[in-house]
Each structure stands twice: as structure tokens, then as C-alpha cells.
Amino acid sequence: MEFPVIHTNFWDGVIAVPLIVIITQLFKLFPIPRQYFPTIASILGFAISIFYSHRHNLWAGLFMGGFYSAAAVGTYSSLKTSWIAFKNRKKKSRNQNNK
């Protein structure tokens, strides 16, 4: 078996990952338990990769789908952690100024 040639392009980092994050956030409008959202992001990542960006090569689609979904979950986690830290720092600063 020969390894597939995988071409990354503009679509990979700039469109697919944010699209997965946005669609996953739209799923939060439904009563779905929070622990299923990484799985939803994975399914979306594999689907986009297999059926759109690498539709002629299943192995490349599976390989890149894992990267799309992991990047989306990591991006969301990083943004959420940064936002919580920012809010806590702002609240701490406000409490120290009021004393």
C-alpha cells in the first residue's frame, strides 16, 4: 500500500476548521448533552473532508478529517479558556479597584 499524496490548501485551515466550529455551535441550540460535541465536531470534520475537500481519495479524506476535527475542537477549547481567563482577570481587577 502506498501512502496517499495529500495536498493542503486554503480550504483546510481558513474555511473548514471555522466552519466546523460554527456548525458545532449551532448544534448547541438543541438539547444535546455537552459531552457529545467533540464527537459532533469529529463527524463534521470527517464528512467535510471525505465528501468535499478530498472526495477522490478516501484515505486522504480520513486522514485530513481527523486533523480538521481536532483543530476545530482545539480552537474552540483555546478560545473558551482564553475568554474565561480574560473575564476572571477583569473581575479580579475590578474587585481590587473597589477596595
Q: Kindly state the cell numbers that stand for 41.
A: 465536531
Residue ranges, the chain, pLDDT below 70: 4-8, 11, 98-99
Tens digit of each residue's pLDDT (9 = 90 or more) over 64-74: 899 999 999 99
Q: Has this prediction a pTM greater than 0.85?
A: no
From residue 32, how far is each of 40, 44, 63 by CA, in Å? 10, 16, 27
Which sequence spans correspond to the domains of the chain? Answer: 11-98
For residue 53, the model assigns a pLDDT of: 84
Rounded Cα distance between 65 and 5, Å, is: 15
Q: Which has the closest alpha carbon to 47: 33, 30, 71, 68?
A: 68
For residue 4, the model assigns a pLDDT of: 65
